[in-house]
Amino acid sequence: MAVNYICRHCKTSMGSLESTSITEQQLGFHFLTPEERNDIIAYDLNGDVTVKVVCDYCNEALNTNPDLMLVSNPLQ
């Protein structure tokens, strides 16, 4: 199983964990509400997990220009 972290805005790969023994508790997924889980985590048919987070670049751009949050795809 791989856990792949990507930026939800620019789709940049931010890292990956390859492990068959890692648990959702170790990743902190159990702290998320069901709505947050549906928004942040995607499970592939092959068992891989994709976690959508925000990279530093996009975070800085959104903090500097909060009006970008009104656009459906602010940082393409």
Contact at 8 Å (CB) between 68 and 74? Answer: yes
Q: Residue 31: what pLDDT? A: 95
Q: Residue 1: what pLDDT? A: 82
pTM for the full model?
0.82
pLDDT per position in the chain (76 positions), as tens?
Answer: 899 999 998 899 999 999 878 888 999 999 999 999 999 999 999 889 999 999 999 899 889 988 877 776 666 5
CA atoms lying within 13 Å on the CB side of residue 50: 13
Contact at 8 Å (CB) between 40 and 3? Answer: no
Q: Residue 72: what pLDDT? A: 67
Say if strands 41-43 and 13-18 run parallel, antiparallel, or are unpaired.
unpaired
Q: Residue 20: what pLDDT? A: 79
Three-state DSSP at 48 gives coil
